[in-house]
Amino acid sequence: MTTALWIAVGAIAVATYLTRALPFLLAERRRGGDRKPGPAPAWLDALGPCILAAMGAAILWPEAGKAAASGNLAQFLSGLAAAAAIMLWRRDAGLATLAGIAGYALAGWLT
């Protein structure tokens, strides 16, 4: 692997660690160490889904551009719609992945 790729992997690892550990470290400092932990801040509940949405957008946006440039946008959107429908219905990432693959393949077969 190239040096740039290792730098990116390291940056992602540091960011991932900080988003998970920093809230606990800050809460410990505010409490003084001896008292019982209080309720988690409300923003902490939204942090995970926001990070996942940002990662999804960063991955899907360039792929949508490539699909549009190659004339496969309908096929790309079919796979995306199938995966999204399963996630809304069952909240099962494995099943959504399979549905996305099937939707993409079916649209490719029909066109």
Give the integer Cα–Cα distance in Å for 26 and 80.
Answer: 39
Q: What is the pLDDT along the chain (111 residues), one digit of tens a residue?
A: 689 899 999 999 999 998 888 888 777 666 555 566 667 778 888 888 899 889 989 999 999 999 999 999 999 999 999 999 999 999 898 999 999 999 999 999 997
Tell me, what DSSP letter sits at residue 33?
A: S
pTM: 0.57
- SS3 of residue 32 by DSSP: coil
Of 49, 51, 28, 52, nearest to 40 by C-alpha is 28
Q: What is the largest CA-CA distance in the chain?
A: 65
